[in-house]
Amino acid sequence: MKNEILTMMVFGLMGLSSCKNNSTEAPETTANGDSISTAASVETKDPNTNYKPAFAGQTRVAAVKTQTAYEGKVLTNDLKKPWGLAVLPDGRLLITEKEGTLRIATSNGTLSEPITGLPKVDADGQGGLLGITPDPAFASNRMVYWVFSEPQTKGNLTAVGKGKLSADEKRIEGATTIYRATPAYDGDKHYGGRILFDKTGNLFVSTGERSDLETRPQAQQLNSALGKILHITKDGKPVSGNPFASDANNKPEIYTYGHRNVQGLALHPTTGELWENEYGPKGGDEVNLIKPGKNYGWPVITYGIEYNGNKIGDAIQQKEGMEQPVYYWDPVVSASGMTFYSGDAMPEWKNNLFLACLSATHIARLVIENNKVTGEERLLESEKQRFRDIAQGTDGALYAITDEGRLYRIFKK
């Protein structure tokens, strides 16, 4: 009798397994019909849309977890709306504050007095003193470059400035505006604002399309600097060989177009390739691998919808001649500054991409293999901070700033 019961149980379990394997419920697929892994993602909220990714791994990849013990230590709470973060050769940090001040922080959190000599900024809305970077030869020339929202007679625009940090580090000397992303517009959103040196000593600068329906189409227009990644020299001139320079109707400084609001730029430490992240609307935050001359789609294709729930354009996600994001989020995480990790202190983080996330209040870690995201992790989520920018220090630690005024050092225990 006992053996009969065991036999019945075995066949019953086999039947359940058979029913499960022969279920008529279709597995989740991409827009091309490829199956998507059902491994658990860090995202548990429902998406805003029913749009399908173009390929497996384009969104909601499997969660990963850092195995090395690490901690996020608050170095200071005394910053005032920090926005941009850059590392000086001696390991100290240059930090912009949105209202127009510049500070220097040591690796233990000691802050300088506000540095004077910077031009006036329009700090309304999303404007202000934005991204910053030291010259690659800063140790000898003390030059720094920054992005800011510059007031104009009619409106404002994204501008790039440069100047020399004085020997006593109390002021910027000879501050000049080397580039203005025209046309100006009377608005207070989507300035872009990141700035980064390439490997040849020229600058990449990001702009936004200024958000409003009136300006949004300019992201697709090559006679406008809105919604672009720009490639300029240290004097603000177009870099020779830029992809659109041969047509006199185009702005020769444009490197790529079709962007919404780029707030993250980083060079891959191994390949040297340029990566960016940009805000989507309601859904559709993106990470892109940037190739010169390419069109990244906004506002024609998107994985998001309007904030009021309406569709955007024809509500399409793919179109010939327009690039797909390597990765996207829905709902959004509002990623701002980002950096690749290239240090030796945390080997499992090597070549991973770290993004400072605002609305999602965490630092996102993306594992990338062969230009595809294979894992995602959320760091410092319990801190409940709006992370604005992140950079790797000379000591191999990550440093991050938050809208609430904190500076963090993230390192192994």
CB 349 within 8 A of CB 83: no
Mean pLDDT within 303-323 = 98
Please give the pLDDT value at position 19: 36
What's the rounded Cα separation, in Å, for the pair 79 and 59? 34
- Could you give the count of Cα atoms lying within 13 Å of 25 in the half-sphere of its Cβ? 5
What's the rounded Cα separation, in Å, for the pair 237 and 198? 15
Span 338-364, pLDDT tens digits = 999 999 999 999 999 999 999 999 999
CATH 3.40.50.1820 matches 34-412:
no
What's the rounded Cα separation, in Å, for the pair 212 and 126? 13
The single residue listed with the structure tokens 């625009």 is 157
- The per-residue pLDDT of the chain, averaged, comes to 93
Of the residues 190, 231, 259, 362, only one is catalytic, namely: 190
Q: Which residues contact 333 (CB under 8 A, 6 or more apart)?
A: 285, 355, 357, 358, 359, 360, 362, 364
What's the rounded Cα separation, in Å, for the pair 285 and 64? 20
Alpha-helical segments (H) within 70-196? 138-141
Mean pLDDT within 376-400 = 98
CB 105 within 8 A of CB 90: no
Rounded to the nearest 10°, the torsion over CA 139, 237, 241, 164 is: 0
Span 153-187, pLDDT tens digits = 999 999 999 999 999 999 999 999 999 999 999 99
Domain ranges of the chain: 34-412
Residue 190 annotated in active site:
yes
Is 266 exposed, middle or buried (CB count within 10 Å of its CB: 0-12, 13-18, 19+)? buried
- The structure's pTM equals 0.92
Both tokens of 365, joined, read 């870690």
- C-alpha to C-alpha distances, 74 to 69, 77, 327, 362, 411, nearest whole angstrom: 17, 7, 30, 14, 12
Amino acid, single-letter form, for residue 360: A
